[in-house]
Each structure stands twice: as structure tokens, then as C-alpha cells.
Amino acid sequence: MAALARGQTVLDAFCDTGGFGLQAAKAGASEVTLLDRSEHALATARETEERNGLADRVAYRRGEEMESLEALAAEGRQFGIVVSDPPAFAKTRKDHGPALRAYARLARLSARLVAPGGFLFIASCSHHVGTGEFTDAVVEGLGRARREGRILGIFGAGPDHPVHPALPESAYLKGVLLHLS
């Protein structure tokens, strides 16, 4: 995401300690909004932002993320890049169906905040949701938002999260990057 960030406005939803958003700020984003429900996570992000001299470009918003995405849309906010990286929606197999609906809802809410020509990255760390069905849920949410775009990439874990061949559950990280028209 950092490669796309220069000059962009960025929303990092479910930001935790600001990993995506602070990297975007460091890479030249003009404005970054970090959104999370955890005061502790946002305080940690603020410490990192201060240590890296990024205070002039980073804003914070605390609240339940889905409600906050709806509120941002109601405020008419749009961003060049929206990153939505929630905690696992499917912690067990029984959560599978509700998780797919939650990912579709997240994609719908997030897509509404992407400016025309902007980028949307949605991630999942739910082992019980496969990459294909996760991607389908994201595309469904895009349609419900009445947005069109193209998938630029479907990603899995990086080298810092190796997948063990005998442990399929270690292949739990996935993400979809879209360019929206």
C-alpha cells in the first residue's frame, strides 16, 4: 500500500496500532485517518507517529469500526485509499456464514468511502473463510455499494508469516486490492 500512498488521503480502518496507515504517511500520504475502537491501540499508534515525525498528517478516530464507516459516509468523506483489516470474523466453523456476510458488509461500507479512481484493500485473518469465498464476498459488497472496479491483486501471507505445509490453518491471511472507478 505504501507504493500507492504518495499524495493520497488514506483511511486505515481496524487500524490496531496503525501499521498500514503510518506506513502510508511515511511514504508521503497527504492525510491519514486511523480508525479503531481500542484507545490503547490508538495510543500506541500515536507514540509511533510521534517518533516518526508524522503528526502533521495523521488524525485519529475512535469508535466501533462499522458504525464509524457509516458515519464517515454520512459526513461525505472520501479517501484515495481505504484499508480495512479487521480481526477474524470467523473464529470457528460455525462463524463461517456470518463472517461472509460481515465481509460483504465491510466491503460495501468501505467502497462507499473510496473516491473515484481510488483504491480499496480489504484483508481477512479468518482461517475458516477461504480466499475464493472471501474475494466473492468482497465483490458482492462492491456491487451492493453500486461501485465498479477491478481486482489488482489477491494476496496471502508474506515471508514473515510462513505457511507450514502440514498445517493448512497457517494459511489464514488473505487480502484483496481493488482499483475502483
| 25-76 per-position pLDDT tens digit | 999 999 999 999 999 999 999 999 999 999 899 999 999 999 999 999 999 9
Q: Report the CATH number at residue 103.
A: 3.40.50.150
> Tell me, what's the pLDDT at 171?
82
β-partners of residue 79 are 114
Phi, psi angle pair for 152, to nearest 5°: -90, -25
Query: pTM here?
Result: 0.95
Count structural domains, the chain: 1
Domain that holds residue 35: 2-180
Q: Which helix (H) or strand (E) holds 50?
A: helix 39-51
Contact 169, 162 (CB under 8 A): no
Residues of the chain with pLDDT > 90: what percent?
A: 86
> How many Å apart are CA 114 and CA 106, to the nearest integer?
13
**pLDDT-flagged residues of the chain (< 50):** none
Q: Cell match 459516509: residue?
A: 73
Which of 149, 171, 147 is closest to 161 using CA atoms?
Answer: 171
Active-site residue set: 125
Q: Which residue spans within the chain are E strands per DSSP?
A: 9-13, 31-36, 58-62, 79-84, 114-124, 149-156, 174-180
CA-closest candidate to residue 155, choices 171, 172, 136, 174? 174
